[in-house]
Each structure stands twice: as structure tokens, then as C-alpha cells.
Homo-oligomer: A and B are copies of this chain.
Amino acid sequence: MNPQTAYRNLLAHVKETHLLVATSNLLDWDQEVMMPQGGGAVGFRAAQLGQLARLIHERSTDTRIGDWLAAAEADAQLTADPLSATAVNLRELRRDFDNARKIPVTLAEEFAKASAMSKHAWADARSKNDYAAFRPHLHRMIELNRQKAACWAPGSAEPWDALADKYEPNMTAAHIERLFAPLRRDLVGLVNDLLARPRKPDARFNEIKLPLEDQKRFVHYVAQQVGFDFTRGRLDTSSHPFCGGTHRDDVRMTTRFQHHMLSDSLGSTLHESGHGIYEQNLPGAEHIGTPLGEAVSLSIHESQSRLIENQVGRSKAFWRWCYPKLKEFFGSAVADLSFDDVYGAVNLVERSLIRTESDEATYSLHIMVRFELERAMIRGDLAAADLPGAWNERYKQYLGIDVPDDARGCMQDIHWSMGALGYFPTYTLGTLYAAQFFDTARQQIGDIDRQFERGEFQPLVHWLNRHIHNEGKRYRSEDLCRHVTGRPLSAEPLLNHLRSKLEDIYNRA
């Protein structure tokens, strides 16, 4: 087969598959955001999604892909420049195809079925705080993940690596351990130091109840100001915030309005705006539906959401701009909150039980607990039956907190229930990348604080567009980091960022 023809056929095939993926994503979004409560009763939506998953799986494992790949790879011209669209697409499609083909159809189907059942059982067990009811499902998901790992990396001493590689290419437990160890030591120290102080920031802003409609208008306004394009996207409400949609010109993000708490809805909105801005600025035109048109990895995606949520949305300069807006939108309801009250509250450090409600300093400690435990479960060193004890022990050790029950302990997250083991570390990797990217952006852009104070976020967003978003999947995570920041990923930028900001805030409290 002619290599050019093979490459063209290959791309046409994956673009067609991508349409089905986009349709499935839209159905997911609709289910969370728009579907009436009775709409899922007879399993109709599940059947629609199952059908699309089957069609996608069939297309993704089509043997013609192997033929097209082999023919295209045989032409050295096509991959001469490893950063060209052609080379990147062939690299990623080869990876995806080999990974998909290594999993027998029977295992893939068993996994999908067990995952759906387990997710269901988890939701039920969590609501009843009944870990025993969830345990056999978790056990099954661990076993099936071990089988998957054995298909991808037979005989590996660290089977977790093969699982994590699906979410974060080339990432290994050993590498994460090297990054996490100093981070854990220093974060635990920082948190203990701050919490030992006699004074802490005023928490009222986090507890104030503000009218829902005003909050909606406010977070919409802020999302737009920081750079989310509402002509090519939406912001709606769902119980768990996420960023979905179909392609770069139709990005759908959600936020939540929990207990009417603005600091939570604003934080969620800024976080999802980071994801949304990334999606909206991926390579367009002929790259839509091809690997080059996609985000680098979960951790780089998370770096963009964390950067907007934390480096922007929890900065003093951002609040110099946002504090007057707060007064403008909410008037008398926030009249007795000073700038320091608000800025302090959004940066308040607390011993937290729930990952998704935790602050910037403790967040990564939640992740480390999960990383260590899932790694042990996949190695066979920790049984599902022993998870609650191990969980509670680590929460005491890292976060200094007693876990009152499993619902707020090892059953708080959906990830393991649906079989996503190897996923959690990407959250902290993203947090580290965010701090390191932002350091470089600050050096290259100039007086970013003055810009934020004036509500000018375009220089930062354009920098992110140019260096990260517009590159799509050209670089792997670590290579992108070196390319953009000149250094490999390290924990130092995050630690410096947290130390200097929190010292300042706690000294002023």
C-alpha cells in the first residue's frame, strides 16, 4: 500500500471514530446536566452509551489500522521530523492501537460490565456507609485491573505502571515516588506550622450564603473575563463539576453551587475554565479528531485547570481585581468582608477529610494517600478488605485527621469504583506542572500581577495558548515541561508558591 494513501485512510478512519466519541461525550454531558430525572429509569441512556462504546471499540481495534500504520511507518519521510503532525499522529495512533489490541475483547467487555455494576454498588454503599457491600466490587475491579496490566506488561514487578501509562504516558510509580517524597515531607511540615499558629484567616467568606442567581451571573462573568469563550462553549450546573463537549468549538463545562457557598462555586468555575480554555485552543481545522488536535495528557490538562484555579484565582493580584466585583454583584451581603477577609478565606488551610473540598496546601496529601494505596492494591500487597484501615491510618499520618466513617473515607471518590486505578497522581502532577509553568510565564510575560489587578488575563492566556494549548499532543508531558520551562518537573515551584503566599497571609491574619 502507498504510505501516503495509508496515512490518509488512517486519519479518515480515526476522525470518523472521533465523531462517535464526541457523540458519546455529548450524551454523557446531557445525562449529567440536562436529562430529566426519570430519563434513565429503563436504562435507555445506558443502552445508548453502551452501543456507542461498542461501535468505538470495534473501530479502534479494526485490523486495517494495523495495516495502515505499518505501511505509513515504512516511509521514513513521514516521520523524519518527529514533531511534525504526521509523526505525532503515527506515534500516538500506534500506541493506542497496540494498547487496544493487547486487551482481549472478552476482558474489555467484562471490565465494562463489572465497572458499571461496581459504580452503581459504590453509589449505593456510600449513601449507606456500608463498605462491606462495596468491598467485593472493589476486589473485582482490582483483579480486572491486574489482568489488564498483565496484558500490557506481562510479569512486571510494578504492574501499576502499565495502568498509569494509559492516563499519563511514560509515568512510573518510582518516578512519582521521587517527586512525591520531598513534597509530602514539606507539605506536612508547612500545614503543621500554619495550623499551630494562634491566629488564622477569617473563614466567614467560605460560609456566607449568597443568592443562587447572583452567583450564577458572577461565575459566568468571571469565567468570561479569564478567557473562556462563551460563543464556543457553555457553563451549566451539575453535582460534580466537569468539562465536556464535542470539540474545540463546543466546550461544555459545569460548576456546582454547594451549600450556596460562593468560594466553592467560584473555585470550581475557575478550575473548569482552565480545562475549557485549553480545549478551546487546541489545534483546529484538519487536526480536529486526530491525536495532534488533542490535549497532551491528564496531568497537563489538570495543570491548566489548577493554574487558573490557584495561581490565578487564589492570588492576591486576582483578588485586587475581583474583590470590587464581588461588592458590585453581591452588595450588602458582602459589605462587612474586607479584602483580607476574602483573600484569606480562599487560602485558608484546614485538616480536611474530603479531597474535592480541600484547600491548596492539603490537596496533594489526599492524592498521596490514594497513590500509595492503589499501588499496593495493584501489587497485591493490600487487599480490598484491609483498605479502610490503611486509609484511616494514612489520613491520621499525613493530614492529622481521624476518619469518622468510610463514606467520608475510602469511599468518597468514584474513581476506584469504576476501575480507574493509576489515575489519581495526575491531579498532583498537574498541580506541580501548574506552578512550574506559571513561574516561567511570570518571567516571560513581565508584570503579571499588575495585569491581574487590572483584570487583564489575556497576556497569560495567550502565553498558555502559544506554548501549551496550540501545540496539542506534539510533546509528551515531560518533554513539554522541559521545552516550555527549560527544566524537568520538580516540586520546588509549588512549594515556593505555597510557602510565600501562605506565610504572608498567615502573618497578616
Inter-subunit contact A234/B51 (CB<8 Å): no
Interface positions of A from 31 to 68, Cβ below 8 Å from B = 34-39, 41-42, 44-45, 47-48, 51-52, 55
Please tell me if A196 contacts chain B, counting CB pairs below 8 Å: no
A35, A44, A247: residue with the most chain B Cβ atoms closer than 10 Å: A44
Partner among B27, B37, B232, B246 whose Cβ is within 8 Å of the Cβ of A23: B27
Stretch at the interface among A14-22, A340-348, A432-440, A470-478: A14-22
Inter-subunit contact B246/A36 (CB<8 Å): no
User: Shortest distance in angstroms between A12's beta carbon and chain B's nearest beta carbon?
Assistant: 12
Inter-subunit contact A231/B36 (CB<8 Å): yes
Inter-subunit contact A36/B284 (CB<8 Å): no
Inter-subunit contact A22/B38 (CB<8 Å): no
Contacts of A41 in B (CB 8 A): 249
Contacts of A38 in B (CB 8 A): 229, 231-232, 249-250
Inter-subunit contact A39/B285 (CB<8 Å): no
Q: Given the known A-B contacts A23-B27, A39-B249, are A44 and B232 also in contact in the complex, defined by CB atoms under 8 Å?
A: no
Does more than half of chain A's interface fall in helix, strand or loop, or is it mixed? helix
Please tell me if A291 contacts chain B, counting CB pairs below 8 Å: no
Please tell me if A288 contacts chain B, counting CB pairs below 8 Å: yes
Contacts of A250 in B (CB 8 A): 35-36, 38-39, 44-45
Partner among B19, B26, B229, B233 whose Cβ is within 8 Å of the Cβ of A47: B19
Inter-subunit contact A48/B22 (CB<8 Å): yes
Please tell me if A339 contacts chain B, counting CB pairs below 8 Å: no
Q: Give the oligomeric copy count.
A: 2
Partner among B16, B30, B34, B246 whose Cβ is within 8 Å of the Cβ of A44: B246
* Interface size range of chain A in the complex: 35 or more
Inter-subunit contact B45/A246 (CB<8 Å): yes
User: Shortest distance in angstroms between A359's beta carbon and chain B's nearest beta carbon?
Assistant: 33
Inter-subunit contact B42/A234 (CB<8 Å): no
Please tell me if A330 contacts chain B, counting CB pairs below 8 Å: no
Closest B residue, CB atoms, query A42: B249
User: Shortest distance in angstroms between A56's beta carbon and chain B's nearest beta carbon?
Assistant: 12
Q: Given the known A-B contacts A26-B30, A233-B36, are A249 and B44 also in contact in the complex, defined by CB atoms under 8 Å?
A: yes
Contacts of A36 in B (CB 8 A): 230-234, 249-250
A20, A36, A51, A285: residue with the most chain B Cβ atoms closer than 10 Å: A36
Partner among B39, B55, B247 whose Cβ is within 8 Å of the Cβ of A246: B39
A154 to B465, CA, bound (A): 60
Contacts of A247 in B (CB 8 A): 42, 44
Contacts of A22 in B (CB 8 A): 44, 48
Closest B residue, CB atoms, query A234: B36
A20 to B35, CA, bound (A): 17
Inter-subunit contact A19/B246 (CB<8 Å): no
Contacts of A45 in B (CB 8 A): 246, 250
Inter-subunit contact B48/A19 (CB<8 Å): yes
A27 to B51, CA, bound (A): 16
Partner among B16, B34, B231, B234 whose Cβ is within 8 Å of the Cβ of A234: B34
Contacts of A30 in B (CB 8 A): 26, 30
Contacts of A233 in B (CB 8 A): 36
* B interface footprint on A282-293 (CB within 8 Å = 1, 0 otherwise): 001100100000
A45, A250, A284: residue with the most chain B Cβ atoms closer than 10 Å: A250
* B interface footprint on A1-22 (CB within 8 Å = 1, 0 otherwise): 0000000000000001001101
A30 to B35, CA, bound (A): 11
Q: Given the known A-B contacts A38-B250, A249-B41, A249-B42, are A51 and B19 also in contact in the complex, defined by CB atoms under 8 Å?
A: yes
Q: Given the known A-B contacts A26-B27, A48-B23, are A37 and B231 also in contact in the complex, defined by CB atoms under 8 Å?
A: yes
Closest B residue, CB atoms, query A250: B39
A63 to B48, CA, bound (A): 24
A472 to B201, CA, bound (A): 64
Inter-subunit contact A39/B232 (CB<8 Å): yes
In the assembled complex, 13 residue pairs joining A and B whose CB atoms fall closer than 8 Å, in A order, are: A19-B44, A20-B51, A23-B48, A34-B34, A36-B233, A36-B234, A37-B231, A38-B229, A38-B231, A38-B250, A39-B232, A39-B250, A44-B249
Chain A contacts to B: CB under 8 angstroms: 16, 19-20, 22-23, 26-27, 30, 34-39, 41-42, 44-45, 47-48, 51-52, 55, 229-234, 246-247, 249-250, 284-285, 288
* The 4 A-B residue pairs with the shortest CB-CB distance in the complex, in nearest-first order: A39-B250, A38-B232, A38-B231, A38-B249
- Known pairs A23-B52, A38-B229. 10 more at Cβ < 8 A? A19-B44, A20-B51, A22-B48, A23-B51, A35-B250, A36-B250, A38-B232, A38-B249, A38-B250, A42-B249
